[in-house]
Structure 1
Amino acid sequence: MDVTSQLEWHPLLRDPTGRRTVKPRTRGQTMVIDKGLGLHAFEDLLQTSAPYIDLLKIGFGTTPLYPTGLLKRKIELARQHQIAIMPGGTFLEVAVSRHTVPEYFDMIGLLGFTAIEVSDGTIEMERTVRNELIRLSREAGLTVYTEYGKKLWGSTIDAEELVETVLLDVQHGAALVTIEARESGAGVGIFDANGECRDEELLDIVGKLPEPDLLLWEAPQKQQQVHLLKTLGSGVNLGNISPNDIFSLESLRRGLRSDTFGLELSP
Protein backbone atom coordinates (compact mmCIF):
# COMPACT_ATOMS: atom_id res chain seq x y z
CA MET A 1 0.00 0.00 0.00
CA ASP A 2 1.27 3.45 -0.91
CA VAL A 3 1.30 5.25 2.43
CA THR A 4 1.98 8.63 0.79
CA SER A 5 -1.43 8.46 -0.95
CA GLN A 6 -3.03 8.56 2.51
CA LEU A 7 -1.01 11.56 3.67
CA GLU A 8 -3.68 14.16 3.10
CA TRP A 9 -4.65 16.84 5.60
CA HIS A 10 -8.30 17.16 6.53
CA PRO A 11 -9.80 20.03 4.44
CA LEU A 12 -10.63 22.08 7.56
CA LEU A 13 -7.04 21.78 8.74
CA ARG A 14 -5.73 23.01 5.38
CA ASP A 15 -8.29 25.80 5.30
CA PRO A 16 -10.24 26.46 8.51
CA THR A 17 -12.40 29.02 6.68
CA GLY A 18 -13.53 26.26 4.32
CA ARG A 19 -13.78 28.81 1.52
CA ARG A 20 -10.38 29.28 -0.08
CA THR A 21 -10.62 28.58 -3.80
CA VAL A 22 -8.03 27.26 -6.22
CA LYS A 23 -6.72 28.93 -9.36
CA PRO A 24 -8.00 30.45 -11.53
CA ARG A 25 -9.57 32.66 -8.86
CA THR A 26 -11.80 35.70 -9.20
CA ARG A 27 -11.52 36.61 -5.49
CA GLY A 28 -8.65 36.48 -3.05
CA GLN A 29 -5.99 36.99 -5.70
CA THR A 30 -2.38 37.55 -4.63
CA MET A 31 0.05 39.61 -6.68
CA VAL A 32 3.74 39.11 -5.92
CA ILE A 33 6.45 41.63 -6.79
CA ASP A 34 9.76 40.26 -8.09
CA LYS A 35 12.54 42.79 -7.52
CA GLY A 36 15.36 40.71 -9.00
CA LEU A 37 15.11 37.02 -8.17
CA GLY A 38 17.64 34.80 -9.88
CA LEU A 39 16.46 31.77 -11.81
CA HIS A 40 17.12 29.23 -9.04
CA ALA A 41 15.35 31.37 -6.44
CA PHE A 42 12.47 31.84 -8.87
CA GLU A 43 12.21 28.09 -9.47
CA ASP A 44 12.23 27.46 -5.70
CA LEU A 45 9.54 30.11 -5.26
CA LEU A 46 7.21 28.45 -7.75
CA GLN A 47 7.95 24.94 -6.46
CA THR A 48 6.69 25.90 -3.00
CA SER A 49 4.26 28.77 -3.59
CA ALA A 50 2.76 28.60 -7.11
CA PRO A 51 -0.73 27.55 -5.90
CA TYR A 52 -0.91 30.75 -3.85
CA ILE A 53 0.29 33.22 -6.53
CA ASP A 54 -2.14 34.55 -9.13
CA LEU A 55 -0.13 37.41 -10.59
CA LEU A 56 3.59 38.17 -10.68
CA LYS A 57 5.02 41.60 -11.44
CA ILE A 58 8.60 42.22 -12.56
CA GLY A 59 9.00 45.28 -10.38
CA PHE A 60 9.35 48.89 -11.49
CA GLY A 61 11.33 49.23 -14.73
CA THR A 62 13.65 46.28 -14.10
CA THR A 63 12.42 44.21 -17.06
CA PRO A 64 15.13 45.28 -19.56
CA LEU A 65 17.90 44.74 -17.00
CA TYR A 66 17.66 40.93 -17.11
CA PRO A 67 19.59 38.75 -19.55
CA THR A 68 16.99 37.96 -22.20
CA GLY A 69 17.26 34.17 -21.88
CA LEU A 70 16.83 34.30 -18.11
CA LEU A 71 13.81 36.60 -18.36
CA LYS A 72 12.15 34.39 -20.98
CA ARG A 73 12.68 31.34 -18.77
CA LYS A 74 11.06 33.08 -15.78
CA ILE A 75 8.08 33.99 -17.94
CA GLU A 76 7.80 30.40 -19.24
CA LEU A 77 7.86 29.02 -15.69
CA ALA A 78 5.17 31.45 -14.53
CA ARG A 79 2.96 30.45 -17.43
CA GLN A 80 3.45 26.75 -16.69
CA HIS A 81 2.19 27.38 -13.16
CA GLN A 82 -0.91 29.38 -14.22
CA ILE A 83 0.55 32.65 -12.99
CA ALA A 84 -0.10 35.80 -15.00
CA ILE A 85 3.18 37.71 -15.38
CA MET A 86 3.72 41.34 -16.34
CA PRO A 87 6.31 44.12 -16.33
CA GLY A 88 5.90 46.85 -13.72
CA GLY A 89 3.69 49.78 -14.70
CA THR A 90 6.56 52.23 -14.39
CA PHE A 91 8.21 50.56 -17.38
CA LEU A 92 5.18 51.31 -19.57
CA GLU A 93 5.25 54.89 -18.30
CA VAL A 94 8.84 55.07 -19.54
CA ALA A 95 7.67 53.86 -22.96
CA VAL A 96 4.90 56.48 -23.03
CA SER A 97 7.21 59.33 -22.02
CA ARG A 98 9.89 58.25 -24.54
CA HIS A 99 7.38 57.64 -27.37
CA THR A 100 8.37 53.98 -27.71
CA VAL A 101 5.02 52.29 -27.00
CA PRO A 102 5.01 50.19 -30.23
CA GLU A 103 8.53 48.93 -29.46
CA TYR A 104 7.46 48.16 -25.90
CA PHE A 105 4.52 46.04 -27.04
CA ASP A 106 6.66 44.27 -29.62
CA MET A 107 9.17 43.17 -27.00
CA ILE A 108 6.77 42.06 -24.29
CA GLY A 109 4.93 40.04 -26.93
CA LEU A 110 8.14 38.36 -28.10
CA LEU A 111 9.18 37.64 -24.52
CA GLY A 112 5.84 35.97 -23.77
CA PHE A 113 4.37 38.18 -21.05
CA THR A 114 0.71 37.37 -20.41
CA ALA A 115 -0.36 40.54 -18.62
CA ILE A 116 0.32 44.26 -18.49
CA GLU A 117 0.02 47.03 -15.92
CA VAL A 118 -1.26 50.37 -17.18
CA SER A 119 -0.46 53.08 -14.65
CA ASP A 120 0.28 56.77 -14.29
CA GLY A 121 1.91 56.73 -10.87
CA THR A 122 4.83 58.89 -12.01
CA ILE A 123 3.66 60.69 -15.17
CA GLU A 124 0.50 62.56 -16.08
CA MET A 125 -1.65 60.64 -18.56
CA GLU A 126 -4.72 61.79 -20.46
CA ARG A 127 -7.78 59.56 -20.23
CA THR A 128 -7.66 59.02 -24.00
CA VAL A 129 -4.09 57.69 -23.74
CA ARG A 130 -5.06 55.35 -20.90
CA ASN A 131 -7.98 54.03 -22.97
CA GLU A 132 -5.70 53.48 -25.96
CA LEU A 133 -3.14 51.58 -23.89
CA ILE A 134 -5.85 49.30 -22.52
CA ARG A 135 -7.14 48.73 -26.05
CA LEU A 136 -3.67 47.92 -27.43
CA SER A 137 -3.08 45.53 -24.55
CA ARG A 138 -6.31 43.69 -25.14
CA GLU A 139 -5.62 43.43 -28.86
CA ALA A 140 -2.21 41.92 -28.00
CA GLY A 141 -3.98 39.21 -25.98
CA LEU A 142 -2.77 40.53 -22.62
CA THR A 143 -4.74 40.58 -19.38
CA VAL A 144 -4.91 44.22 -18.31
CA TYR A 145 -4.34 45.41 -14.75
CA THR A 146 -4.62 49.15 -14.36
CA GLU A 147 -3.46 51.16 -11.38
CA TYR A 148 -4.86 54.21 -9.63
CA GLY A 149 -2.79 56.59 -7.49
CA LYS A 150 0.43 58.53 -7.49
CA LYS A 151 3.73 57.32 -6.06
CA LEU A 152 4.57 60.74 -4.61
CA TRP A 153 4.96 60.70 -0.82
CA GLY A 154 1.85 62.10 0.84
CA SER A 155 -0.44 61.43 -2.11
CA THR A 156 -3.97 60.39 -1.19
CA ILE A 157 -7.01 58.98 -2.96
CA ASP A 158 -10.02 60.88 -4.23
CA ALA A 159 -12.87 58.36 -3.85
CA GLU A 160 -15.07 59.92 -6.53
CA GLU A 161 -12.22 60.04 -9.03
CA LEU A 162 -11.19 56.49 -8.18
CA VAL A 163 -14.70 55.13 -8.75
CA GLU A 164 -14.91 56.90 -12.11
CA THR A 165 -11.49 55.52 -13.09
CA VAL A 166 -12.40 51.96 -12.06
CA LEU A 167 -15.67 51.97 -14.00
CA LEU A 168 -14.03 53.39 -17.13
CA ASP A 169 -11.03 51.05 -16.95
CA VAL A 170 -13.24 47.98 -16.57
CA GLN A 171 -15.52 49.21 -19.35
CA HIS A 172 -12.50 49.39 -21.65
CA GLY A 173 -11.25 45.91 -20.67
CA ALA A 174 -9.27 46.00 -17.40
CA ALA A 175 -9.53 42.86 -15.26
CA LEU A 176 -8.64 44.57 -11.97
CA VAL A 177 -7.67 48.05 -10.81
CA THR A 178 -4.75 48.22 -8.37
CA ILE A 179 -4.68 50.83 -5.60
CA GLU A 180 -1.19 52.31 -5.35
CA ALA A 181 0.81 51.85 -2.15
CA ARG A 182 4.33 51.36 -3.55
CA GLU A 183 6.60 48.64 -2.20
CA SER A 184 6.95 50.55 1.10
CA GLY A 185 3.25 50.81 1.98
CA ALA A 186 3.75 54.12 3.76
CA GLY A 187 2.69 57.68 3.01
CA VAL A 188 0.80 56.72 -0.16
CA GLY A 189 -2.82 55.96 -1.03
CA ILE A 190 -4.90 54.70 1.89
CA PHE A 191 -1.86 54.37 4.17
CA ASP A 192 -0.47 57.15 6.33
CA ALA A 193 3.19 57.90 7.01
CA ASN A 194 3.34 55.05 9.55
CA GLY A 195 1.74 52.54 7.21
CA GLU A 196 -1.56 52.63 9.09
CA CYS A 197 -4.76 52.35 7.06
CA ARG A 198 -7.04 55.38 6.75
CA ASP A 199 -10.24 53.47 7.42
CA GLU A 200 -12.58 56.32 6.59
CA GLU A 201 -11.13 56.55 3.09
CA LEU A 202 -11.07 52.76 2.69
CA LEU A 203 -14.74 52.33 3.59
CA ASP A 204 -15.74 55.36 1.51
CA ILE A 205 -14.13 53.79 -1.56
CA VAL A 206 -15.64 50.35 -0.98
CA GLY A 207 -19.06 51.85 -0.29
CA LYS A 208 -19.09 53.77 -3.56
CA LEU A 209 -18.13 50.85 -5.81
CA PRO A 210 -20.81 48.49 -7.15
CA GLU A 211 -18.23 45.67 -7.20
CA PRO A 212 -15.38 46.10 -4.64
CA ASP A 213 -13.84 42.85 -5.95
CA LEU A 214 -12.65 44.85 -8.96
CA LEU A 215 -9.92 46.32 -6.74
CA LEU A 216 -6.49 44.92 -5.88
CA TRP A 217 -4.96 46.65 -2.87
CA GLU A 218 -1.19 46.97 -2.67
CA ALA A 219 -0.36 45.98 0.91
CA PRO A 220 3.30 45.05 1.38
CA GLN A 221 3.27 45.15 5.18
CA LYS A 222 1.90 42.34 7.35
CA GLN A 223 -0.25 44.63 9.53
CA GLN A 224 -1.82 46.07 6.38
CA GLN A 225 -2.64 42.60 5.08
CA VAL A 226 -4.19 41.62 8.41
CA HIS A 227 -6.23 44.82 8.56
CA LEU A 228 -7.58 44.50 5.02
CA LEU A 229 -8.41 40.82 5.50
CA LYS A 230 -10.32 41.57 8.71
CA THR A 231 -12.07 44.57 7.19
CA LEU A 232 -12.87 43.27 3.70
CA GLY A 233 -12.72 39.50 4.19
CA SER A 234 -10.32 36.78 3.07
CA GLY A 235 -11.50 37.25 -0.53
CA VAL A 236 -9.81 40.64 -0.82
CA ASN A 237 -7.24 40.94 -3.64
CA LEU A 238 -3.79 41.95 -2.33
CA GLY A 239 -0.63 42.99 -4.16
CA ASN A 240 3.03 43.97 -3.89
CA ILE A 241 3.58 40.93 -1.70
CA SER A 242 7.20 39.96 -1.15
CA PRO A 243 8.20 36.45 -2.27
CA ASN A 244 9.21 35.83 1.34
CA ASP A 245 5.70 36.62 2.57
CA ILE A 246 3.54 34.39 0.35
CA PHE A 247 3.12 31.59 2.90
CA SER A 248 2.54 34.17 5.61
CA LEU A 249 -0.27 35.81 3.62
CA GLU A 250 -1.84 32.51 2.58
CA SER A 251 -1.87 31.46 6.23
CA LEU A 252 -3.58 34.74 7.11
CA ARG A 253 -6.19 34.22 4.38
CA ARG A 254 -7.05 30.76 5.72
CA GLY A 255 -7.08 31.64 9.42
CA LEU A 256 -3.93 29.64 10.03
CA ARG A 257 -2.27 32.44 12.00
CA SER A 258 -3.29 33.93 15.30
CA ASP A 259 -3.81 37.35 13.68
CA THR A 260 -6.76 36.06 11.63
CA PHE A 261 -7.86 33.06 13.67
CA GLY A 262 -11.52 32.34 12.85
CA LEU A 263 -11.48 34.56 9.77
CA GLU A 264 -14.37 34.06 7.36
CA LEU A 265 -14.52 34.91 3.67
CA SER A 266 -16.64 38.01 4.30
CA PRO A 267 -16.47 40.30 7.33
Structure 2
Amino acid sequence: MKSSPYAVWSPELNDPSGLRKASDPETDNHGAGHAEGRGQTMVIDKGLGRNAFMDLIEIAADYIDCVKFGFGTAPLYNTELLLYKIKLAKRNNITVMPGGTLLETAVQQDVVPAFFDTICSLGFNGIEVSDGTIELSRSKRTELIQEGRKRGLRVVTEYGKKLSGSLIDATLLAITAEGDWEAGAELVTIEARESGVGVGLFDADGECREEVLESILEFVPDTKRIMWEAPLKHQQVHLLRKFGSDVHLGNISPNDTLSLETLRRGLRSDTFGFGIQEKPVKANYYMI
Protein backbone atom coordinates (compact mmCIF):
# COMPACT_ATOMS: atom_id res chain seq x y z
CA MET A 1 0.00 0.00 0.00
CA LYS A 2 2.95 2.31 0.46
CA SER A 3 3.14 4.95 -2.24
CA SER A 4 6.22 6.47 -3.83
CA PRO A 5 5.94 10.23 -4.27
CA TYR A 6 9.60 10.56 -5.14
CA ALA A 7 9.13 9.86 -8.86
CA VAL A 8 6.62 12.72 -9.22
CA TRP A 9 8.20 15.57 -7.27
CA SER A 10 11.75 16.77 -7.67
CA PRO A 11 14.01 15.98 -4.68
CA GLU A 12 14.23 19.69 -3.87
CA LEU A 13 10.45 19.82 -3.39
CA ASN A 14 9.98 16.41 -1.80
CA ASP A 15 12.69 17.00 0.81
CA PRO A 16 14.29 20.46 0.72
CA SER A 17 16.41 19.51 3.73
CA GLY A 18 17.99 16.61 1.86
CA LEU A 19 18.24 14.88 5.24
CA ARG A 20 15.35 12.42 5.32
CA LYS A 21 16.36 8.96 4.18
CA ALA A 22 13.74 6.87 2.43
CA SER A 23 12.66 3.72 4.24
CA ASP A 24 13.88 0.43 2.81
CA PRO A 25 12.09 -2.68 4.13
CA GLU A 26 14.67 -4.89 2.41
CA THR A 27 17.52 -3.59 4.57
CA ASP A 28 15.60 -2.57 7.69
CA ASN A 29 16.95 -4.33 10.77
CA HIS A 30 13.76 -4.01 12.81
CA GLY A 31 11.05 -4.80 10.30
CA ALA A 32 9.69 -1.34 11.01
CA GLY A 33 10.33 0.27 7.65
CA HIS A 34 12.62 3.00 8.93
CA ALA A 35 16.00 3.72 7.40
CA GLU A 36 19.08 3.41 9.57
CA GLY A 37 19.73 6.71 11.31
CA ARG A 38 16.42 8.29 10.31
CA GLY A 39 14.45 10.06 13.03
CA GLN A 40 11.52 7.88 14.01
CA THR A 41 7.89 8.90 14.43
CA MET A 42 5.66 7.04 16.87
CA VAL A 43 1.92 7.63 16.40
CA ILE A 44 -0.49 7.12 19.28
CA ASP A 45 -3.81 5.54 18.29
CA LYS A 46 -6.46 6.15 20.94
CA GLY A 47 -9.21 4.27 19.13
CA LEU A 48 -9.29 4.67 15.35
CA GLY A 49 -11.86 2.57 13.53
CA ARG A 50 -11.19 0.44 10.47
CA ASN A 51 -11.70 3.17 7.88
CA ALA A 52 -9.82 5.86 9.79
CA PHE A 53 -6.88 3.53 10.37
CA MET A 54 -6.85 2.45 6.74
CA ASP A 55 -6.84 6.12 5.71
CA LEU A 56 -3.92 6.82 8.06
CA ILE A 57 -1.87 3.98 6.60
CA GLU A 58 -2.74 4.88 3.01
CA ILE A 59 -1.77 8.53 3.48
CA ALA A 60 1.13 8.37 5.92
CA ALA A 61 2.62 4.87 6.17
CA ASP A 62 5.91 6.08 4.68
CA TYR A 63 6.33 8.49 7.59
CA ILE A 64 5.31 6.25 10.51
CA ASP A 65 7.76 3.92 12.24
CA CYS A 66 5.57 2.77 15.11
CA VAL A 67 1.89 2.80 16.05
CA LYS A 68 1.04 2.46 19.73
CA PHE A 69 -2.49 1.54 20.78
CA GLY A 70 -2.61 3.98 23.67
CA PHE A 71 -2.97 3.07 27.35
CA GLY A 72 -5.05 -0.09 27.78
CA THR A 73 -7.24 0.25 24.69
CA ALA A 74 -6.11 -2.97 22.95
CA PRO A 75 -8.31 -5.40 24.98
CA LEU A 76 -11.39 -3.25 24.30
CA TYR A 77 -11.33 -3.80 20.54
CA ASN A 78 -13.41 -6.33 18.69
CA THR A 79 -10.80 -9.02 18.04
CA GLU A 80 -11.40 -9.04 14.29
CA LEU A 81 -10.79 -5.29 14.08
CA LEU A 82 -7.72 -5.50 16.30
CA LEU A 83 -6.22 -8.22 14.10
CA TYR A 84 -7.00 -6.18 10.98
CA LYS A 85 -5.19 -3.12 12.32
CA ILE A 86 -2.16 -5.11 13.47
CA LYS A 87 -1.84 -6.91 10.13
CA LEU A 88 -2.27 -3.71 8.13
CA ALA A 89 0.44 -1.93 10.11
CA LYS A 90 2.86 -4.83 9.81
CA ARG A 91 2.15 -5.21 6.10
CA ASN A 92 3.41 -1.65 5.76
CA ASN A 93 6.55 -2.34 7.80
CA ILE A 94 5.32 -0.45 10.87
CA THR A 95 5.96 -1.65 14.40
CA VAL A 96 2.67 -2.00 16.30
CA MET A 97 2.51 -2.26 20.08
CA PRO A 98 0.05 -1.97 22.97
CA GLY A 99 0.47 0.93 25.37
CA GLY A 100 2.83 0.55 28.29
CA THR A 101 -0.03 0.95 30.76
CA LEU A 102 -1.40 -2.42 29.63
CA LEU A 103 1.86 -4.14 30.59
CA GLU A 104 1.82 -2.25 33.89
CA THR A 105 -1.68 -3.66 34.45
CA ALA A 106 -0.38 -7.16 33.70
CA VAL A 107 2.35 -6.67 36.31
CA GLN A 108 -0.14 -5.35 38.86
CA GLN A 109 -2.57 -8.23 38.19
CA ASP A 110 0.25 -10.81 38.15
CA VAL A 111 -0.57 -12.05 34.63
CA VAL A 112 2.62 -11.11 32.76
CA PRO A 113 3.06 -14.52 31.02
CA ALA A 114 -0.54 -14.33 29.77
CA PHE A 115 0.11 -10.79 28.52
CA PHE A 116 3.08 -11.89 26.43
CA ASP A 117 1.27 -14.99 25.16
CA THR A 118 -1.70 -12.91 24.06
CA ILE A 119 0.12 -10.07 22.32
CA CYS A 120 2.34 -12.53 20.46
CA SER A 121 -0.64 -14.62 19.36
CA LEU A 122 -2.38 -11.46 18.11
CA GLY A 123 0.69 -10.51 16.08
CA PHE A 124 2.01 -7.45 17.91
CA ASN A 125 5.69 -7.01 17.06
CA GLY A 126 6.65 -4.50 19.73
CA ILE A 127 6.11 -3.61 23.39
CA GLU A 128 6.57 -0.59 25.60
CA VAL A 129 7.98 -1.24 29.08
CA SER A 130 7.04 1.57 31.45
CA ASP A 131 6.36 2.36 35.08
CA GLY A 132 4.44 5.59 34.69
CA THR A 133 1.78 4.49 37.18
CA ILE A 134 3.31 1.60 39.13
CA GLU A 135 6.80 1.06 40.53
CA LEU A 136 9.17 -1.38 38.83
CA SER A 137 12.40 -2.57 40.39
CA ARG A 138 15.50 -2.58 38.20
CA SER A 139 15.45 -6.37 38.13
CA LYS A 140 11.78 -6.50 37.10
CA ARG A 141 12.29 -3.89 34.40
CA THR A 142 15.22 -5.88 33.01
CA GLU A 143 13.19 -9.09 33.17
CA LEU A 144 10.35 -7.56 31.11
CA ILE A 145 12.73 -6.15 28.50
CA GLN A 146 14.54 -9.45 28.13
CA GLU A 147 11.28 -11.40 27.90
CA GLY A 148 10.17 -9.11 25.10
CA ARG A 149 13.42 -9.63 23.23
CA LYS A 150 13.24 -13.38 23.77
CA ARG A 151 9.77 -13.34 22.19
CA GLY A 152 11.14 -11.55 19.12
CA LEU A 153 9.55 -8.20 19.96
CA ARG A 154 10.99 -4.76 19.41
CA VAL A 155 11.31 -3.23 22.90
CA VAL A 156 10.96 0.46 23.68
CA THR A 157 11.00 1.63 27.28
CA GLU A 158 9.64 4.76 28.90
CA TYR A 159 11.00 6.90 31.70
CA GLY A 160 8.89 9.26 33.82
CA LYS A 161 5.71 9.34 35.86
CA LYS A 162 2.27 10.25 34.51
CA LEU A 163 1.26 12.21 37.61
CA SER A 164 0.66 15.87 36.80
CA GLY A 165 3.59 18.02 37.90
CA SER A 166 6.11 15.17 37.84
CA LEU A 167 9.62 16.13 36.76
CA ILE A 168 12.53 14.33 35.12
CA ASP A 169 15.46 13.42 37.38
CA ALA A 170 18.29 13.45 34.84
CA THR A 171 20.64 11.41 37.04
CA LEU A 172 18.07 8.66 37.56
CA LEU A 173 17.13 8.81 33.87
CA ALA A 174 20.76 8.19 32.91
CA ILE A 175 21.00 5.18 35.24
CA THR A 176 17.67 3.78 34.05
CA ALA A 177 18.46 4.31 30.36
CA GLU A 178 21.83 2.56 30.62
CA GLY A 179 20.17 -0.39 32.35
CA ASP A 180 17.43 -0.53 29.71
CA TRP A 181 19.86 -0.39 26.79
CA GLU A 182 22.05 -3.03 28.38
CA ALA A 183 18.99 -5.27 28.82
CA GLY A 184 18.13 -4.94 25.12
CA ALA A 185 15.82 -1.94 24.75
CA GLU A 186 16.18 -0.07 21.46
CA LEU A 187 14.97 3.35 22.60
CA VAL A 188 14.10 5.06 25.87
CA THR A 189 11.11 7.38 25.66
CA ILE A 190 10.76 10.50 27.82
CA GLU A 191 7.24 10.63 29.30
CA ALA A 192 4.96 13.53 28.35
CA ARG A 193 1.60 11.72 28.16
CA GLU A 194 -0.75 12.30 25.24
CA SER A 195 -1.44 15.87 26.38
CA GLY A 196 2.14 17.16 26.56
CA VAL A 197 1.15 19.39 29.47
CA GLY A 198 2.46 19.50 33.04
CA VAL A 199 4.53 16.31 32.86
CA GLY A 200 8.23 15.60 32.45
CA LEU A 201 9.94 17.95 30.03
CA PHE A 202 6.94 20.27 29.65
CA ASP A 203 5.38 22.71 32.10
CA ALA A 204 1.70 23.42 32.80
CA ASP A 205 1.49 25.50 29.61
CA GLY A 206 3.14 22.81 27.50
CA GLU A 207 6.35 24.82 27.19
CA CYS A 208 9.74 23.12 27.35
CA ARG A 209 11.51 23.31 30.70
CA GLU A 210 14.89 24.33 29.32
CA GLU A 211 16.75 23.66 32.55
CA VAL A 212 15.38 20.10 32.57
CA LEU A 213 16.35 19.57 28.93
CA GLU A 214 19.88 20.83 29.51
CA SER A 215 20.21 18.61 32.57
CA ILE A 216 19.13 15.59 30.53
CA LEU A 217 21.70 16.39 27.86
CA GLU A 218 24.41 16.67 30.51
CA PHE A 219 23.74 13.22 31.91
CA VAL A 220 22.44 11.44 28.78
CA PRO A 221 24.51 12.73 25.85
CA ASP A 222 23.50 9.83 23.55
CA THR A 223 20.22 11.34 22.36
CA LYS A 224 20.18 9.09 19.27
CA ARG A 225 18.66 6.43 21.53
CA ILE A 226 16.12 8.77 23.14
CA MET A 227 12.55 9.30 21.92
CA TRP A 228 10.81 12.45 23.11
CA GLU A 229 7.05 12.40 23.54
CA ALA A 230 5.94 15.67 21.97
CA PRO A 231 2.25 15.67 21.03
CA LEU A 232 1.97 19.43 20.44
CA LYS A 233 3.25 21.21 17.34
CA HIS A 234 5.32 23.86 19.13
CA GLN A 235 7.01 21.09 21.15
CA GLN A 236 7.91 19.26 17.95
CA VAL A 237 9.29 22.46 16.44
CA HIS A 238 11.37 23.16 19.54
CA LEU A 239 12.94 19.69 19.59
CA LEU A 240 13.52 19.66 15.83
CA ARG A 241 15.35 22.98 16.05
CA LYS A 242 17.34 21.70 19.02
CA PHE A 243 18.35 18.29 17.65
CA GLY A 244 17.70 18.44 13.91
CA SER A 245 15.27 16.71 11.60
CA ASP A 246 16.19 13.20 12.69
CA VAL A 247 15.20 13.46 16.34
CA HIS A 248 12.88 10.63 17.49
CA LEU A 249 9.40 11.93 18.39
CA GLY A 250 6.50 10.06 19.97
CA ASN A 251 2.84 10.36 20.95
CA ILE A 252 2.10 12.05 17.65
CA SER A 253 -1.59 12.35 16.81
CA PRO A 254 -2.63 10.48 13.63
CA ASN A 255 -3.87 13.78 12.20
CA ASP A 256 -0.43 15.35 12.72
CA THR A 257 1.66 12.68 11.00
CA LEU A 258 2.09 14.44 7.66
CA SER A 259 2.40 17.79 9.40
CA LEU A 260 5.34 16.50 11.45
CA GLU A 261 7.03 15.13 8.35
CA THR A 262 6.78 18.55 6.67
CA LEU A 263 8.48 20.03 9.73
CA ARG A 264 11.24 17.44 9.48
CA ARG A 265 11.85 18.25 5.80
CA GLY A 266 11.67 22.04 5.92
CA LEU A 267 8.32 22.09 4.13
CA ARG A 268 6.69 24.30 6.75
CA SER A 269 7.47 27.85 7.80
CA ASP A 270 8.55 26.89 11.33
CA THR A 271 11.51 24.85 10.04
CA PHE A 272 11.90 26.39 6.60
CA GLY A 273 15.57 26.91 7.33
CA PHE A 274 16.13 23.15 7.12
CA GLY A 275 15.67 23.46 3.35
CA ILE A 276 18.01 26.39 2.76
CA GLN A 277 21.11 24.83 1.32
CA GLU A 278 24.27 26.64 0.35
CA LYS A 279 24.54 26.70 -3.42
CA PRO A 280 27.89 25.66 -4.89
CA VAL A 281 29.80 28.59 -6.30
CA LYS A 282 30.32 28.27 -10.01
CA ALA A 283 33.78 29.13 -11.20
CA ASN A 284 34.01 31.85 -13.83
CA TYR A 285 36.57 31.43 -16.56
CA TYR A 286 37.73 34.32 -18.73
CA MET A 287 39.54 34.12 -22.02
CA ILE A 288 42.58 36.38 -22.14
Query: TM-score with structure 2 length normalisation?
Result: 0.88
The answer for the alignment partner of 2:75 in structure 1 is 64
- RMSD between aligned alpha carbons? 1.5
Residue 173 of structure 2: SS of its match in structure 1?
helix
- Give distance in 2, aligned partners of 1:62 and 1:113: 14
The answer for the alignment partner of 2:93 in structure 1 is 82
Contact kept in structure 1, 2:40 and 2:248, CA below 8 Å: yes
Using a 3 Å threshold, how does the CA distance of structure 1 residues 233 and 106 change in structure 2: closer, same or farther? Answer: same
**Which runs of 5 or more structure 2 residues have no equivalent in the other structure?**
24-33, 276-288
The answer for the alignment partner of 1:195 in structure 2 is 206
The answer for the alignment partner of 1:113 in structure 2 is 124
Contact kept in structure 1, 2:6 and 2:14, CA below 8 Å: no
Contact kept in structure 2, 1:176 and 1:214, CA below 8 Å: yes
The answer for the alignment partner of 1:12 in structure 2 is 12
Q: Which amino acid aligns with 1:8?
A: V
1:168 and 2:172 aligned = no
Alignment of 1:124-203 (within 5 A): 124-203=135-214
Residue 147 of structure 1: SS of its match in structure 2?
strand
Post-superposition CA distance 1:154-190 (Å, at most 9, x none): 0000111101111110110000000000000010001
- Give distance in 2, aligned partners of 1:98 and 1:204: 36
Contact kept in structure 2, 1:60 and 1:91, CA below 8 Å: yes
Contact kept in structure 2, 1:16 and 1:262, CA below 8 Å: no
- Give distance in 2, aligned partners of 1:232 and 1:6: 26
Once the two structures are overlaid, the 10-residue window that deviates more, 169-178 or 202-211, is 202-211
- Give distance in 1, aligned partners of 2:179 and 2:65: 24
Residue 202 of structure 2: SS of its match in structure 1?
coil
Contact kept in structure 1, 2:67 and 2:94, CA below 8 Å: yes
Please report how far the alpha carbon of residue 33 of structure 1 lies from its aligned counterpart in structure 2 after TM superposition. Answer: 0.3
Q: Identity percentage over the alignment?
A: 60
- Give distance in 1, aligned partners of 2:198 and 2:96: 27
1:257 and 2:268 aligned = yes
1:236 and 2:247 aligned = yes
Q: Which amino acid aligns with 2:19?
A: R
- Give distance in 2, aligned partners of 1:6 and 1:135: 39
Contact kept in structure 1, 2:20 and 2:38, CA below 8 Å: no
Q: Which amino acid aligns with 1:62?
A: T
The answer for the alignment partner of 1:122 in structure 2 is 133
